[in-house]
Amino acid sequence: MRRFNKPNEPGRVNDGRLQEKLVEKYFQNLDFDDVQTGPHDAEFDSKGVYANILNAIDAVPETPKRRSYTGWMVAASVLIAFISLTYYFRYNILNYVSPVHTMQVAAARGSVTSIVLGDGTKVWLNGGSRISYPETFRGEKREVTITGEAFFDVMHKTDQPFIVHTGNITTHVLGTSFNIKAYDDDQLLHVDVVSGKVGVVPAEGSALSFNTIYLTPAQGITYNKTDNSISKTAGIDISALSDWKAGKLIFKNAALPEVIKTLNREFEVSIRADANLTACNISADFTNVPIKDIMAVIARLVKGKATLNGTVYHLKGKGC
C-alpha cells in the first residue's frame, strides 16, 4: 500500500508538506451537503477516498528543481573570448604598455662599425651605411632595415625568421651569414650568401613580381634598379665577401664605376671618369694604400692619368 512520507523523515520534509496541502485542498473541494445518505452510509469507504486522494496527487505534475548553469556558461564564454583576444593581440598590448625603442646606427666614411643585435645577431656596417632595428625583437619575426653594405651573421631561430628590408627587395633567413650591398646611389643591389640558406622576395608594396629566389653558399642575386631585372649567380668568391669588414680594400675583377663609388665612400674625395672607361674592370688590393697612390695605379690600368683639382679626381685614358 502506498503511504505518505512523514514530514520529519530525513530528506523528505518538503515532499511531506506538499502532500499535506494537497490533501487539505482535496477535502475542501468536497461538497458534503450534496451527498445523499443511504442504508450503507454508516460504513465510510476509507479505501476509496484514500485512492481518490492518491489519484489527485499523482495528477499534479512535479516541477523538477534543476540548478541553472546558464550564468556560468555565459561567464565562461566571455572569459575564453577575452583570453583568446588577449593572446592574439599580446604583442600589440605589450608594445603599448612597454614600447620597444627603434635603434639606428651609421658607419662613417672610411670606417667599419660592428654591432650585436638583441637576439645575438652580429652585424658589420661598411662606410656610409646605416641600419635601423628594434632594441628588442618581439613577435614572430625579427626585422631590420639597411641602406648601404652590411654583413650579417644571424643567430639561428627556427620559429622567428630574420628579415632584412632593402628598398624593393626583402631577404628572409633563419640562421646564416650573408652580405647585402644596397647603397641608395648604386644602380645594382647585391645579396650574396656565405653560409646557410636565404630567400629573396619582392618587398611588400613594390612593383616587382617574382617567385622566391633561394640562395645557398657561394650564390647570390643582382637586382638592377634601372630596369627592375634580377639575376642569380653562382661561384661567388666567399672570402671576398667579408674582406671589407676586416678593413681590407680589395677588388677582384670589379667594374670601374663600382670601384669609383667604393672609393668615394671610403675617402673624402670625388672621382670622375670619362665615359669610355666604364667598361674597364679592376683587380687590386688597396688595403692601407693612400688615395693618391690608388688613383695612380688605376690610371696605369686604364692607360691614362688622374688629375686632382681640390678634392675632385678626374680620370681619363685610352680605356681597357
Q: Is residue 65 part of a domain?
A: no
Q: Is residue 1 part of a domain?
A: no
173 and 128 share a domain?
yes
Q: Is residue 303 part of a domain?
A: yes
Which DSSP symbol is given to 275? Answer: G
Cα–Cα distances (Å) from 291 to 12, 82, 160, 245, 265, in that order, read: 108, 65, 44, 19, 12
258 and 200 share a domain?
no
131 and 178 share a domain?
yes
Q: Where are the beta strands (DSSP E) in 84-141?
A: 102-106, 113-116, 122-125, 130-134
Q: Is residue 2 part of a domain?
A: no
Average pLDDT of 145-156?
96
Q: Which residue has the cell 661567388?
A: 236
Q: Who wins on pLDDT, 315 or 268? A: 315
Distance CA 295, CA 303 (A): 12
137 and 48 share a domain?
no
Contact call for residues 199 and 226 (beta carbons, < 8 A): no
In this structure, of 19-33, 71-85, 127-141, 196-210, the range with the lowest mean pLDDT score is 19-33
According to DSSP, the β-strands at 102-106 and 312-317 are: unpaired
Contact call for residues 286 and 308 (beta carbons, < 8 A): no
- Point out the domain boundary residue: 193, 221, 246: 246
130 and 216 share a domain?
yes
187 and 299 share a domain?
no
Contact call for residues 275 and 317 (beta carbons, < 8 A): no
Distance CA 254, CA 295 (A): 15
Average pLDDT of 119-147?
94
Which DSSP symbol is given to 142? Answer: E
Q: Is residue 179 part of a domain?
A: yes
Contact call for residues 306 and 291 (beta carbons, < 8 A): no
Distance CA 278, CA 32 (A): 130
107 and 237 share a domain?
yes
- Report the CATH number that the domain containing residue 274 is assigned in CATH: 3.55.50.30
91 and 197 share a domain?
no
Average pLDDT of 227-236?
94
- Report the CATH number that the domain containing residue 121 is assigned in CATH: 2.60.120.1440
With a pLDDT cut of 70, the percent of the chain lying above it is 69
Distance CA 105, CA 129 (A): 8
Give the count of beta carbons closer than 10 Å to the beta carbon of residue 115: 15
Structurally, the chain folds into a number of domains equal to: 4
Give the count of beta carbons closer than 10 Å to the beta carbon of residue 304: 19
Helices and strands, number each (H, E), in the chain: 7, 18
168 and 239 share a domain?
yes
76 and 120 share a domain?
no
Closest CA to 269 of 221, 316, 306: 306
* Helix H or strand E segment including 317: strand 312-317
Q: How do residues 152-182 score in pLDDT, each as one tens digit?
A: 999 999 889 999 999 999 999 988 999 999 9
Residue 174: what pLDDT?
Answer: 83
Distance CA 103, CA 99 (A): 13
Q: Is residue 5 part of a domain?
A: no
Residue-range definition of the domain harbouring residue 74:
70-99
Q: Is residue 111 part of a domain?
A: yes
Q: Is residue 6 part of a domain?
A: no
148 and 240 share a domain?
yes
150 and 185 share a domain?
yes
